Structure 1
Amino acid sequence: MRIRLPEVDIPEGRVVELPGRGSTYVTDTAGPTPDAPPIVLLHALTTTGLLTWFPSIPELSKKFRVITLDLRWHGRGIKSDEFSLRDCADDAVALLDVLGIEKAMFAGFSMGSLIAQRVWRQHPERVGGLVLCASTDVFQRTATERAFHNGMSSIAARVPGYGSPRRAGRVQSAQVDPAVDINRWALNEFRSTSPIAVGKAVGAIGKHHTRPWINQIDVPTAVVVPLRDKAIPPARQIAMAQRIPGATMHEVDAGHSCCVMDADKFVPVFSHACNVVLARWRERTVPN
C-alpha cells in the first residue's frame, strides 16, 4: 500500500559549517517579519531535519523563523568519532552562533526532545522556551527496554564508525524534487542515515536520564503527548510533563510517527503548543 504524505512546500537548505565541529544541512525559513521569534526544530531518530518537520514548517512560519538541522550521524549531519546527545545539543547552539541568534525556542520530537532537554541543561541562557514531543526523562525502565537498547548498542559496537561516509552523498545525489514525488523524496531522506549509525544512536539514547534535574527547567515548556504512542508510553510522557514546573500538556490522538504520518492531527496541536510557549516567553521579556 502506498503511503500518502502531506503535500506542502519544502524549503531549500544549505550546508553550514559549525566552527570546530563540522558541517550540517540547515534550513532557515523566514517568518512573517524580520524580527520573528526563532524556533529550532530537532528531529527524531533515523530521520532528518526536513523529514521530521516538513509538515509543520508552513504553519509555524506564519509566526516563527523556523530552523532545522540534520543532527550528528543523520542525513547530512556532522560525521564524528562518537555520537552523544550532549554533542548534538552543543551543535544546535553552535548553529545559533553562526546565524547570529542570541536566544531561541527549541522543539524536539522523540530523540530531538531529549536533545532539547540537554540544550536547556547545557546552555540555559540560550533557551527562550521548550516544546517536547513524544518525550521522556528516562529510558531502560523495563527489561524489554534494557534488552533493546543494550542489544542494539552491543551489535553496533562491533562495527567501526557510523557507516559509509559516502552514503548520504549517494542518496542525496539521487534526490528527487519533492514537488514531483514526495514519497520518493521522503524515502531518500530516510535512507540517508546509515543503519549502523542508528544502532549506535539507540545505545546513546538508552542512557538518557534527565529525571534528577528536569524539575529545574525554568523556561516556558509545553509537552505534546501522542496518546497512541507505542515507542514511549503516554503515561511516562505525562508523568514527565508533571515534573516540569508550569509545563502545559497537549494531547494528540495518534501514534509515535504522528509528526508525519498523522500530520493533520499533529500539526495543529504542535503549533498551538508553540504559540502557548511563545506567549509565555514574551510575557517574561516585557519590561515592567
Structure 2
Amino acid sequence: MRRAITRDGAAVAYQTAGRGTPLLLLAGQANTHHWWDGVREDFEDGYRTITLDWLGTGASDKPDRPYSTRGFAADAVAVLDDLGVERAHVYGTSMGGRVAQWLAADHPERVGALVLGCTSPGGAHGVERDNTVRRSLAQPDREAARRALLDLMYTPAWTATHPGPQQTLGDPELPGFARRRHLAASAGHDAWDALPGITAPTLVIHGTDDRFNPAANAPLLAERIRGAALHLVNGARHAYFEEFRALASPAVLTFLDGEVTG
C-alpha cells in the first residue's frame, strides 16, 4: 500500500501486484480496490495491476468536498506519476469506466488500450436505470436496499452458492458524506462530447441483463468511440466481471494481449 498526492494535496492509497505491462484497474462508485479481489489474479501473470481507493474510501483521504469523474481521472494520473508509469492499459468498470473515459480523453498519452465495463457516457445521451431500480435502492430499510443492490449485481444462482461477503456492494466504512459525494460524481458524469476524441484502442464490455447500468449504454459507447469493439456477456448483471469471470476475463485479456503484441 502506497499513497500518491493529488494536485490539491489529498492522498490517494494505491496497490500493485503482478508483473509486466502496467494495467490500471478502476473500481465502481463508493468502492475500494477490493472490488477487484475476485478477478485480479486473472491479469497478474502478464500485467502489473494497479488499483486505488477513490477519495472518500478505504485508506485514501476523505475530504468533504465535491468529487467528479474527471477529478478522479486526475487522481489516477497522480498514482501513475507516483509509480513512474508513463503509460498503462486502463480497465474501468461502472463509475470506474466513467473515470476511464476522462482519463483517455484528457490524458491520451497515458493510456495504451482502454476497456470500458458496465458503464455509461452519462448526461442526456446515457440510458438511466428505471424508477423501479431507483426506488429499490433508495428505500429506508438499509438491509432491504442492500438485498436490492445484491440482486442488481448478481443472478440468484450466484448468490445462492456465493454467500459472501461480496466486495462490490460499497466500502462498509464509507462516511455518509462521501457516499453522497460519490453518487453526485457518478450522476454528474457527461463525457459524450469527449468520446469521439478518444484515440486509444477500446473494448466496451457489458452484461446483457444489467439493469443497474442498463446494457443499452454499451452500443452507445462503442458507436461513439472510433473503432471500438463491443462484447456482450449473455445473462450477466452488473458484476459481470466476477460472476461471469470465465467469459469476461479471457475476453479482456485477448483484447489487451492483442494490443501488447500488435
Q: Same fold (TM over 0.5)?
A: yes
Q: Could you list the per-position Cα deviations for residues 33-52 of structure 1 after superposition, in whole angstroms to 9, with x for gaps in the alignment?
A: xxx111000100122112x1
Q: Distance in 2 between matches of 1:29 and 1:74?
A: 20
Percent identity, aligned pairs only, is 26
**Pick aligned residue for 1:72 from 49, 55, 77:** 55
1:191 partner SS: coil
> Where in structure 2 are the equivalents of 1:227-242 lying within 5 Å?
227-242=208-223
1:214 aligns to 2:202 (yes or no): no
Name the structure 2 match of 1:192.
Answer: 173
Q: Distance in 1 between matches of 2:128 and 2:166?
A: 34
Name the structure 2 match of 1:47.
Answer: 31
Partners of 2:120 and 2:218 within 8 A in 1: yes
Q: Number of aligned pairs?
A: 231
> Where in structure 2 are the equivalents of 1:130-169 lying within 5 Å?
130-139=114-123
Name the structure 1 match of 2:16.
Answer: 28
Shift, 1:184, TM fit? 5.4
Name the structure 1 match of 2:4.
Answer: 17
**Pick aligned residue for 1:279 from 240, 258, 262:** 258
Query: Relative to 1, partners in 2 of residues 1:245 and 1:197: Cα closer, same or farther, differing over 3 Å?
Result: same
Query: Relative to 1, partners in 2 of residues 1:212 and 1:184: Cα closer, same or farther, differing over 3 Å?
Result: closer
Shift, 1:223, TM fit? 0.7
Name the structure 2 match of 1:95.
Answer: 79
Q: Distance in 1 between matches of 2:183 and 2:74?
A: 19
Q: Could you list the per-position Cα deviations for residues 74-96 of structure 1 after superposition, in whole angstroms to 9, with x for gaps in the alignment?
A: 22223233211122101111111
Q: Distance in 1 between matches of 2:11 and 2:118?
A: 27
Q: Distance in 2 between matches of 1:120 and 1:78?
A: 25
Q: Distance in 2 between matches of 1:72 and 1:255?
A: 26
**Pick aligned residue for 2:22 from 38, 55, 58:** 38
Q: What is the RMSD of the two structures over their aligned residues, measured on CA atoms?
A: 2.9
Name the structure 2 match of 1:257.
Answer: 239
Rg larger in 1 or in 2? 1
Partners of 1:131 and 1:273 within 8 A in 2: yes
Structure 2 unaligned blocks of 5 or more: 136-162
Shift, 1:69, TM fit? 0.4
Which letter maps to 1:241?
A
Q: TM-score with structure 2 length normalisation?
A: 0.78
**Pick aligned residue for 1:126 from 103, 110, 123:** 110
Q: Distance in 1 between matches of 2:253 and 2:40?
A: 12
Query: Relative to 1, partners in 2 of residues 1:219 and 1:142: Cα closer, same or farther, differing over 3 Å?
Result: closer
Shift, 1:30, TM fit? 1.9
Q: TM-score with structure 1 length normalisation?
A: 0.71
Q: Distance in 2 between matches of 1:187 and 1:232?
A: 14
Query: Relative to 1, partners in 2 of residues 1:28 and 1:144: Cα closer, same or farther, differing over 3 Å?
Result: closer
Partners of 1:224 and 1:270 within 8 A in 2: no
Name the structure 1 match of 2:143.
Answer: none
Query: Relative to 1, partners in 2 of residues 1:144 and 1:232: Cα closer, same or farther, differing over 3 Å?
Result: closer
Q: Distance in 2 between matches of 1:55 and 1:233?
A: 23
1:234 partner SS: coil
